[in-house]
Amino acid sequence: MIVASRYAKSLIDLAVETKQLEEVRADMKLIKEVCRDNREFVMLLESPVVKTDKKMYIFNEIFNGKISATTMTFLKMIATKRREGYIDNIAYAFDEQYKTYKNITTVEVISATPLDAANKDQILALVSKSVTGSVELIEKTDKSLIGGFVLTVNGQRIDTSVKRKLNDLRKNFSGNAYLPDLN
């Protein structure tokens, strides 16, 4: 979303200029979590029925004392510009732009069981060789994979799961022209 990206960029520029980048990032992470966990809050922000001053009051009630003055001023400015419906998108865009600014690569690993420390270190070491900068590891579990893992780095997906291998075998056997149809 272009609007969210532009506001996120201006907030990053402001945070860098005032030397509060890490503090603002923590604030935006909190806002992102609140928006992710509370769909009603996002719907309220997007609602044209609720007046801007009421939304600003809600911002104060939720975030006062929990976020920096810079971020609170930014939220108020967004509200006065009637862009409060974009706040969740701005928080996501801010996170992506922060990672780009700090040269952080996000790696997602989905496995059937939680990874132990040795496996995490091995994956981080392997990925660190192929990317520049630091690596952020996001770990998820999905029991339907049966075994193996799915690794996503920079939009590339490596699927070594048992589930995928079984699906590949199923496709190979279903398309075999040498076996007669037994139905």
Domain boundaries in the chain?
2-100, 104-174
Statement: residue 83 has pLDDT above 80: yes
pLDDT for 174: 79
pLDDT for 88: 93
**Residue 177: band (very low, low, confident or very high) from pLDDT cuts 50, 70, 90:** low
Statement: residue 181 has pLDDT above 70: no
Per-residue pLDDT of 85-143, as tens digits, reads: 999 999 999 999 999 999 999 999 999 999 999 999 999 999 999 899 999 999 999 99
* Structural contact between residues 111 and 148, judged by C-beta atoms closer than 8 angstroms: yes
Identify which of 13-22, 79-88, 126-135 has the greatest average pLDDT.
13-22
**Residue 182: band (very low, low, confident or very high) from pLDDT cuts 50, 70, 90:** low
Q: Rounded to whole angstroms, what are the CA distances from 4 to 63, 83, 88, 121, 176?
A: 20, 9, 9, 35, 50
CATH of domain 2-100: 1.10.520.20
Name the strand (E) or helix (H) holding 105: strand 104-111
Q: Rounded to whole angstroms, what are the CA distances from 1 to 18, 29, 78, 91?
A: 26, 18, 15, 12
Q: How far apart are CA 144 and CA 162, in angstroms?
A: 9
